[in-house]
Chain A
Amino acid sequence: MLIQFTLNGRPVSVEAPAHLTLLTVLRDYFHLTGAKEGCSIGECGTCAVLVDGELVNSCLMLAPKVAARTVLTIEGVSPADGSLSDLQEAFIAYGAVQCGFCTPGMVLAGEALLAQTLTPTREQIRTALAGNLCRCTGYQQIVDAIAAAGAQRKEVN
């Protein structure tokens, strides 16, 4: 079926079978490989993307469900000039990236939270990351990076 939606700020349309997941369509049809298939059962969050600003696991969402909606993947987070976003820079500065497999989902979970508040408590950050697993760094650095990016955005505003 024909699925039309807004992907990383750009209107797109794709002809794909209705039973494919959003993750499959993003990776195999749009070649956006930032969202990863980790567990495929909704436990790890490494496939997370934002749909209309809400964090969802793209492995558990059928692609037709994003029709007429907006999807943001990690590829759409950074500015068009190829530089990194402030949150991505914070992940680097705070050592929040090791193998990198969980990072796209973590960054998007962070963006979903920072859209709600720029001054989240550590507990709120941990809750916002509850559906994203990291097996390398532990979570302190990731929490630190999101807190720092929020504080920085607050200052800029």
Chain B
Amino acid sequence: MVAMRQRGPWFDRLVDISAIPELREIVVRGDQIRLGACVTFARAAAHPQLRALTPMLAEACLSIGGPQIQNVGTVGGNVANAAACADTLPVLVALDAQAHIAGAAGERVLPVSELIIAPHHTALQQGELLTAFSFAAPPAGARSIFIKVGRRNAQAISRLSVAAIGHVDAAGLVDHVRLAVGAALPRPQRLTAVEALVHGQRPAPGLYALAGAQAVAVMLDITGRRWSTEYKEVALSQLAPYALARVLEDAPLPTRFDTP
């Protein structure tokens, strides 16, 4: 909308897809979730099962813009716009979400991490429509978190964001961990090197610090040193350990859920 207003209309046909029922569905069957591309941030965040199964997705949705934006903006729009700082991207990637794409030839399915090619570039072809995302909820008992750094609490574009999922087994060892970062890499991806470092280990501050250093190393390996690196490497070295500690320990998770 903003681009359209700044450049003027560059199209001769405009189709409103927001009322297509299939695109607005949230379907939860057991631990399998299907989220229509036109589900608004407000609806995703308010959905009781989604909130219970993937709190980090709801947290990410509530961190975008303000109420007006959340009432209109959609998860599919956030993904298709493919901004590096898009807040649902690290969450969907941490969940290994699949993107469902409809075209004249039928449907194809692509991991969200492969749908995004580069900032503001996706693998969507002309004539294709992003219709939904599907993913499995984190294992029972796992905790998830989405946190971001911005200039304000609301109406703030992420300077850095982290999505993390974690679970500790009966022996006290990490048996499930996922970590993805936003606004740090040209295309969203899980930091598998960091996950491998943490998996099978006993949660401890030393482990979190190592994970933070590893996360920074992965970021620098991909992006090299950029103008924002001086800030982001410090922020990520703290944010990744913070997120891991929150999902691997029992302390209460920070939440934006205070909406009536």
Contact = CB atoms under 8 A, between A and B. Distances in A.
A55 B71 contact: yes
B66 A21 contact: no
A60 B1 CA distance: 6
Contact of B69 (A19, A57, A112): A57
A46 to B, nearest CB: 11
B259 interface: yes
B18 interface: yes
Contacts of A60: 1-2, 68-69, 72
Interface string B94-118: 0000000000000000000000000
A127 B258 contact: yes
Interface stretch (A36-44, A75-83, A85-93, A140-148): A36-44
A22 B154 CA distance: 24
**Which of B16, B68, B69 counts the most chain A CB atoms within 10 A?**
B68
Given A21-B5, A128-B67, A65 B16 contact: yes
Interface residues of B, number: 23
A120 to B, nearest CB: 6
A34 interface: no
Contacts of B259: 116, 124, 127
A131 B67 contact: yes
B192 interface: no
A116 B260 CA distance: 6
A130 B2 contact: no
A112 B42 CA distance: 13
A132 interface: yes
B140 interface: no
Given A65-B18, A130-B155, A56 B260 contact: no
B68 A55 contact: yes
B67 A41 contact: no
Interface string B60-89: 000001111101100000000000000000
Interface in A16-34: 18-19, 21
Nearest to B62: A127
